[in-house]
Structure 1
């Protein structure tokens, strides 16, 4: 037996329901109420249950049922997997979001967003969104049939040490944007505007690309990236049509 909790069943059920609510992100995962095992394998190397960190399952379930802060090894384990394989999926992002809400809500500038929050000014969230835009620039210019996307190459370093990566990404986006402009000038305008809008939201006077992001901001980076990338997928057709029309009018 890992631990013992004694309380009214209704209280325990409510606490578990709040745990499920904290996991919610949009777009939603296929499983709206994933089991603890399904969540925990997202923290493990190769998604093998034998690679889950010892005691993590018990510590997390105890925190859920006693309404205590979550174990920080939960966040560090997910961040480690994201840096290793770059699979930014709904379950992993949901885990990070739940830790942010349970452990860091009082230190954040606002609520942890469920879906794309255009007003969120957390540095990690903005950098994650910006990284997703640069990725979209590459995809729009070269398509998806490339040997390695910028996410494949740089997600881990961009989320942990943005200063080393973002200047390069900005420089590398210029030829891609030029190529897009020759084929779809309106789409180029949309992407350039997205970059500018995010940059303008960064704190004036501060270095927009810090040398290092702490774990909390790396979690927000993943959340911002997931939301912005999903927004491109969701509204790609509508945005492209509007942008092309705007480009034709300008011409």
Structure 2
């Protein structure tokens, strides 16, 4: 996005994950812990990820800003550099359709469902992002079945049948990578959900869909 700076100061990063994006609400000790991790080359503090996810859930208007997605990516990749896990694949800079993370693929799925809703209802003021993001990210099983049912109604409103086929193929590809809708996602998977959502949204914009 054109309004995003090329680089962020530590202060600006922390403001973007503080309540109401206000510097007065930056949690105590977080700046010091963050700076220490940068200087020492150690894992970023878990409070950083927690604060970022909490801010995304409360920010119903924008949810996953570029700076928040970048922060989650940096946190996860550094964490797994120090604590390797064979099931973890490094989070990429852009859309990774083969990312094995369930959270990441669920985030992609949520982005596609939102895009379908937007195209079926041009000029819509509020999408599923405002109402369902928090539950979809933390307790997927509680919302995705209903959201997939709702998307049938939205697809039926699209006049461009080629577009419908494109969406159905994309949905099939993503759902095919999921074994089920988990009852709960841990914080790391919630972070991957946010990145998957962000990456898929960006991919739509880049294709000028």
The reply to whether TM is greater than 0.5 is yes
What's the offset of the Cα at 1:64?
A: 0.6
Structure 2 matches for 1:12-27, cutoff 5 A?
none
The aligned counterpart of 1:224 is: 196
Length, aligned pairs only: 204
Q: Which has the higher helix share?
A: 1
Q: Which residue of 2 aligns with 1:161?
A: 139
Matches within 5 A, 1:179-218: 179-180=157-158, 183-202=159-178, 206=179, 208-218=180-190
CA contact (8 A) 1:29 1:91 kept: no
Structure 2: 5+ residue stretches without partners = none
Please tell me the root mean square deviation across aligned C-alpha atoms, in Å: 1.4
Q: What is the aligned partner in structure 2 of residue 173 from structure 1?
A: 151
Q: Which of 20, 34, 57 is equivalent to 2:31? A: 57
Provide the rounded CA distance (Å) in 2 between the counterparts of 1:113 and 1:147: 31
Q: 1:151 aligns with which of 121, 129, 135?
A: 129
In structure 2, the partner of 1:34 is 8
Residues 29-72 of structure 1: per-residue CA shift (max 9 Å, x gap): 72222100100001111111110000000001001100111100
Whole-angstrom distance in 2 between the partners of 1:121 and 1:178: 31
Q: TM-score, normalised by structure 2?
A: 0.93
Tell me by how many angstroms 1:214 deviates. 0.3
| Distance in structure 2 (CA, Å) of the matches to 1:185 and 1:109 | 38
> Within the alignment, does 1:104 sit opposite 2:80 as a pair?
yes
Task: Measure, in 2, the Cα distance between the counterparts of 1:128 and 1:36.
Answer: 27
CA distance in 2, matches of 1:236, 1:184: 16
Q: In the alignment, is the contact (CA less than 8 A) between 2:80 and 2:88 conserved in 1?
A: no
Q: Pick closer, same or farther for the CA change 1:29–1:163 going to 2, 3 Å.
A: farther
Find the structure with the greater CA-based Rg: 1
TM score, norm. by length of structure 1: 0.78
Q: How far does the alpha carbon of each residue in 1:132-174 deviate from its partner, in whole angstroms, 9 at most, with x for none? A: 000011011011x224210011111110111011001001001
